[in-house]
Amino acid sequence: MNIYVDGMGGDNAPYEIVKGAVMAAKDFNKKIHIIGPTDIINDELKKYEFESGLIEVVNATEVITNDDEPTKVIRRKKDSSMIVGINRVKEDNESIFISAGSTGALLAAGTLMVGRIKGIQRPALTVMLPSRRGITLLLDVGANVDCKASYLVQFGQMASIYAEEVLGIKNPRVGIINIGTEEGKGNELTKEASGLLKEANINFVGNIESRDLVEGYADVIVCDGFTGNIMLKLIEGLSAYIFDNLKTAMTSDTRSKIGAVMLKPALKSFKKKFDYKETGGAPLLGVKAGIIKAHGSSDHRAFYNAIKQGIIFSEKNILRLISNKIVEI
């Protein structure tokens, strides 16, 4: 197994990425390949002590920026850390690639360059959401804006395997996002998908309303990529709106400012619940390679966790498990 890391992806690259990679290499005693401009990565590596041979730098001269259009990166930035990384795992099924870079670019490159596991109709982008009971794996959050019911069944099957094998959730409960909890509710897509999910070889628990997304009623929640993307961005926007307003309230006058200082420690742990650093990464499921997307704002701890998930992904041979379990529909 080769572990490849996108040294230049994410808001905090290369510093936090390299730091997390070195930590992971030492803790798991695995060699990690960090991809990026050799001089930049080596400059970062000088800050740490580790056994030689534990880290290898793979040179990639280009860097993907926010201005790059995701679908054009493949041809225009062939020597970027992300494209070099995808090319590596493409050729080697047991390897994994972890990146905190552009989701759109990773999705485009992952699906277009690598290709799908045999029998998989569409790959799906997953995300891990904090919930009242732990973690919920939500997919698809943007890879497929128009879905057939059968895609959703495969999303549920793939994510079940991931949740069980990588996250250690026994017999994961799979739900479908819908507008009501009762059977028979929904639009054409969810009604058809629910019927199929009931027949599939997974622990299907039925409809989940979006208001219960964070309740933890399911470990895996499937939806079409349009709905998933809308939900994900709504969570982002609404959280920011609430926190902004909270901040304004806390600095509105002297009395409030004093109260805010008193509350600081408690609020810190409260805010921690809403950050993704502990969760690590989320896989691009259905492609013929181990590709883990770490959150764009990952610090070294988050990236370390994403690497850890990648290692389990490879060790448990998730690609083979998916390939074996999937029902061709």
Contact residues for a copy of itself (CB under 8 A)? 132, 142, 145-146, 177, 179, 186-188, 190, 209-215, 224, 226-227, 229-231, 233-242, 245-246, 248-250, 252-253, 255-256, 258-267, 269-270, 273-274
Tell me the three state secondary structure of residue 7.
coil
> Cβ-count burial of 230 within 10 angstroms (0-12 exposed, 13-18 middle, 19+ buried)?
middle
Strand partners, 4: 33, 97
Of 300, 308, 287, the closest CA to residue 126 belongs to 287
Q: Are 290 and 97 spatial neighbours (Cβ–Cβ below 8 Å)? A: yes
What is the closest distance, in whole angstroms, from the C-beta atom of residue 258 to a copy of itself in the complex? 5
What is the closest distance, in whole angstroms, from the C-beta atom of residue 161 to a copy of itself in the complex? 26
Tell me which residue has tokens 């870079």.
Answer: 101
Comparing CB distances to a copy of itself, the nearer of 112 and 184 is: 184
What is the closest distance, in whole angstroms, from the C-beta atom of residue 52 to a copy of itself in the complex? 45
What is the closest distance, in whole angstroms, from the C-beta atom of residue 268 to a copy of itself in the complex? 9
What is the closest distance, in whole angstroms, from the C-beta atom of residue 255 to a copy of itself in the complex? 6
Q: What is the spatial distance between Cα 213 and Cα 219, in angstroms, rounded to a whole number?
A: 10
Comparing CB distances to a copy of itself, the nearer of 190 and 309 is: 190
CA angle in degrees (0–180, nearest 5) for 286-288-294: 70
Comparing CB distances to a copy of itself, the nearer of 104 and 115 is: 104
Helix 225-250 to helix 254-273 angle (10° resolution) is 150
Comparing CB distances to a copy of itself, the nearer of 260 and 321 is: 260
Q: What is the spatial distance between Cα 158 and Cα 164, in angstroms, rounded to a whole number?
A: 10
Comparing CB distances to a copy of itself, the nearer of 49 and 67 is: 67
Comparing CB distances to a copy of itself, the nearer of 120 and 177 is: 177
Comparing CB distances to a copy of itself, the nearer of 187 and 324 is: 187
What is the closest distance, in whole angstroms, from the C-beta atom of residue 243 to a copy of itself in the complex? 8
Of 15, 4, 110, 18, the closest CA to residue 58 belongs to 4
Instruction: Give the distance from CA 310 to its chain's centroid.
Output: 11
Distances in whole angstroms, Cα of residue 33 to Cα of each of 137, 161, 195, 280, 304: 28, 27, 44, 18, 14
What is the closest distance, in whole angstroms, from the C-beta atom of residue 72 to a copy of itself in the complex? 13
DSSP string, 79-94: TBHHHHHHHHHHH-TT
What is the closest distance, in whole angstroms, from the C-beta atom of residue 311 to a copy of itself in the complex? 32
Comparing CB distances to a copy of itself, the nearer of 171 and 256 is: 256
